[in-house]
Amino acid sequence: MKRLLPALAVAALVAVPAAGAQRQAPPTMHPGALTIALNPPAVGFQVGTLRGNDVTNPSGFEVDLGKDIAAKLGIPAAKISWINVPFETLFRPGAKPFDFAFEEATITAARQKVVDFSTSYFDANQGVLLSKSATAPHSLADLAKMSLCAQSATTGLDYVQHKLHAKQVHIYTTTAAAFSALQVGRCDAFVMDVPIVASQKNTKPSAYGAVAGQIVTNEQYGAVLSKGSKLTPLVNQAIQALTKDGTIAKLQQKWFHIDVKAIPVLK
């Protein structure tokens, strides 16, 4: 028995660090912290106050989801930096100034050539929000004849230009600018994701006409990361876990009060 004691002592010493070891820190830009890019406002998804490049007091579906992902990564909410990154810059090649971005970015094959996308966290079609003076279209052919607003670098703009072949398209660099143009009648309709236009209409019901229709595009939103980011699989695991345990469904119910089925489909 005396001969075994030294061996047991060594084993005990080896076991202590193993038992007390913490999981490896996620490969974020700054150890123990997380930088998440936003581009507010997007009603329901994200709002906040811009102070230079920082977004202060952010709130919304994507903000809550970002905090939940951070928790899965072992990073407290107090260690999250929220920064403003214009949407049109997200898909430029090269390193990003953020760990991941939440900006209602639709996953497309073209974009995947220059960035990583997480697994999808939200499904959406394109929606048609009218100005107060516009007549509702009853078909895609009707819509193509209207004066349309769209945001640059979005799938909505791509649709109206290359699939709808609309003749009159007014392009704005931000969602807010496009909504303002629609409100003052510079265009008849704004083509943008259903949850975005429906949430804006719910927030300012007297500023716009109806959400006149939706265009079935079956789009999926993903978080945007630098191409080849080592963080991508960890964010994927977190989103998959939050989907499986019902957290994402609860957040959608919390932030959106939209009956998508009630919006007519334009064909």
pLDDT value of position 21 = 45
SS (H, E, C) 238-263: HHHHHHHCCHHHHHHHHHCCCCHHHC
Level-2 CATH architecture, domain 124-219: 3-Layer(aba) Sandwich (3.40)
**Between vectors from CA 126 to CA 171 and to CA 163, what angle results, nearest 5°?**
65
pLDDT value of position 18 = 43
Q: Burial code of 127-158, b = ≥16 C-beta within 10 A, e = fewer? A: bbbbbeebebbeebeebbebbbbbbebbbbbb
pLDDT value of position 9 = 41
Q: Where are the domains of the chain?
A: 34-121+222-258, 124-219
Fold assignment, 34-121+222-258? D-Maltodextrin-Binding Protein; domain 2 (3.40.190)
**Domain 34-121+222-258 shares a fold with domain 124-219:** yes
pTM of the model: 0.86
pLDDT value of position 246 = 95
pLDDT value of position 190 = 98
pLDDT value of position 259 = 87
pLDDT value of position 261 = 86
Residue 12, number of CB atoms within 10 A of its CB: 9
pLDDT value of position 23 = 66
186-243 pLDDT, tens digit per residue, is 999 999 999 999 999 999 999 999 999 999 999 999 999 999 999 999 999 999 999 9
pLDDT value of position 135 = 97
Residue 205 tokens read as 């019901």
Question: Which residue positions in the chain have pLDDT lower than 50?
Answer: 1-21
18-28 pLDDT, tens digit per residue, is 444 456 899 99
